[in-house]
Chains A and B, each alone.
Chain A
């Protein structure tokens, strides 16, 4: 295989991985845009989503069919949306007016609680498990292999992103979300139910994370309680790269992160693949902290 072909192959892998990161990054960026909180538990919601899908797939049938796969998605997204709302109501809402560091510590507490809680529950347990997936088929496109899973990952992510775009730009609740993220106080005065909008944002973000969790788990076929940490961190970097608070930015950042990671894996060293995300974060913070598509907001006192 020539270098050019290998490059294309890694690009394909990178786009598939990047679309998963983009889905996770959307949740980070929406929550940050609306309540200015880094939701550390986001990566762990991904893990819960993957497990919810896992139980559906295991319970449904011996072989995974497209129908059970779709059912797994729907159940996982619903379960995680509810979990997201519960976390927001119970842990973040009481701290909305507290110092930022308190909310951050709560978020990190929620994150560790979910991870280790999952470890303790006997149905989940600490050991990695094989993830049931659709039987794999590889398509060959001019020497570049594309697996069926990669195609599904890409298509599902794009579909969800289009859906999200529709919700945010063309529905009433989307308009309310944009209003709250622009100015919460003014939105409240205009009669928008801010609590409901914030809960809805958490629900959408968590549902996207759940979908990303199933896709991630199917691509690597395994699940374990700590699986959410690394993709969560990288997706956060993606959100910062695109400009935190910006939705198109999160999508672009996700793809860039995915491609950067697979290219590092393919051409430099697979051990450095995790470090590259960190390096990218440092570079953005030095060069352009507002990210590629972020707005420069000056804080008023």
Chain B
């Protein structure tokens, strides 16, 4: 077994173990319901932030309407569960497919072009979809919102632990999907588009195809996140999915480091957790978030994960004896 595989198996084992421990702790009530809820919510945020990272961090195309995708997934899942009595799992997956179709329709005219049209089109889409949802009262309940979406289970005492399991299995699936995709030849093609569109085109990468692929997949995952959100919260309102919601995901991706899965997962949990404790900041949070975006972009575009890398490099340089050898290109 190669070193890389060993490391992978070790990480998977560690995650599996910690997942089981957390499930047990929630089940026995050692982690209280409130904390379990925050953890579950963080899991949903991570799923959607990962989908945004796929299109913005790995493919290099800024998308600003993921709250809109989330809303489509949430409302279609809710409609399927409530009006057609579809079981949860197919409802969530169909919600994802519906969202992916929307992503395809938006991406098709936009991604053919060079330049930053995707940012403005997704931004506009996010605003328009909210207006449409307020007007489509039959499906969405209009501005008053959609109440009484059935949760993952009818057993109230089991609800926290089951929501946690559902969301975390989907999150694990997303992480595995994206990290394997990125290491495949398709993923390499996607990254090459971010690095240089013209050069990758010259190398025979079908730029339009891979941009579409990445964007549609991103919409699909965001839709699944939305479906989980609908079942987890049990209440939907079009105003939940405003532009600031899209920005929350962007902040998670940028702060964690664009194009880093570990960074997104870690920041997703940290920020969701902090948000609960910084509620007293209220409106000021809305000022701090954009400041984070600006400061990160100006001073450390690689985000927290870049910072961690810098610290590691510094340690290797300062204490060469303890940490073995330097990587290629590093000076002692």
Contact = CB atoms under 8 A, between A and B. Distances in A.
A149 B112 CA distance: 42
B26 to A, nearest CB: 35
B297 A109 contact: yes
B29 interface: no
Interface in A103-147: 103-106, 108-113, 116-117, 119-120, 126
A275 B293 CA distance: 29
A183 interface: no
A271 interface: yes
Query: How many A residues are at the interface, by size bracket?
Result: 35 or more
A105 B120 contact: no
B62 interface: yes
B109 interface: yes
Interface residues of B, number: 45
Given A100-B116, A275-B128, A278-B125, A108 B250 contact: yes
A242 B260 CA distance: 38
Nearest to A120: B283
A101 B60 contact: yes
B301 interface: yes
Interface in A87-106: 91, 94-95, 98-106
A135 to B, nearest CB: 34
B293 A117 contact: no
B198 A299 contact: yes
Contact of B116 (A38, A95, A126, A289): A38
A120 B298 contact: no
B176 interface: no
Given A105-B62, A112-B289, A120 B284 contact: yes
B156 to A, nearest CB: 37
B119 interface: yes
A237 B298 CA distance: 28
Residue from the set A98, A108, A240 with the largest chain B CB neighbour count within 10 Å: A108
Contact of A281 (B124, B293, B298): B124
Contact of A104 (B114, B116, B287, B298): B116
A231 to B, nearest CB: 12
A162 interface: no
B105 to A, nearest CB: 9
Contact of A95 (B109, B121, B289, B297): B297
Contacts of A120: 283-284, 286-287
A281 B294 contact: no
Given A108-B250, A278-B127, 16 more contacts: A38-B116, A91-B294, A94-B298, A100-B116, A101-B56, A101-B61, A102-B301, A105-B293, A106-B294, A108-B119, A112-B244, A274-B127, A275-B131, A278-B124, A278-B128, A301-B199
Interface of A: 38, 91, 94-95, 98-106, 108-113, 116-117, 119-120, 126, 229-230, 233, 236-237, 240, 271, 274-275, 277-278, 281-282, 285-286, 289, 299, 301
6 contacts: A94-B298, A99-B60, A109-B291, A113-B294, A271-B135, A274-B127
